[in-house]
Amino acid sequence: MEKDDVYVELEELVGQEAATRLTEHYSGSSLYFPRSIGRNRRHRKIKEEFKRGASYKELARRYSLTERHIRRIVHKRKPKASQNNP
């Protein structure tokens, strides 16, 4: 993919003004977008919907996941803070 192709693709995704601002600000930089960003947001939404009464089956259909996967997401706890950290 050519550099100009990347700009055109960015422009299509976010619009010309935003693409210009992003390239002016981040030119010469390497940006990394971890996959977990979207996944974490999706998991929060699933947990919220479950708390409001959505069933495992409903959530599985809505998010194209298995009920088993939904159960893992809903019941996964946040890691406890280390006792050595203030």
For 2-61, what is each residue's pLDDT tens digit? 658 888 999 999 999 999 999 999 988 988 888 777 888 999 999 999 999 999 999 999
Which pTM value belongs to this model? 0.54
Mean pLDDT of 62-80: 88
Residue 22 DSSP code: H
User: What pLDDT is recorded for position 60?
Assistant: 97
More confident residue, 81 or 22: 22
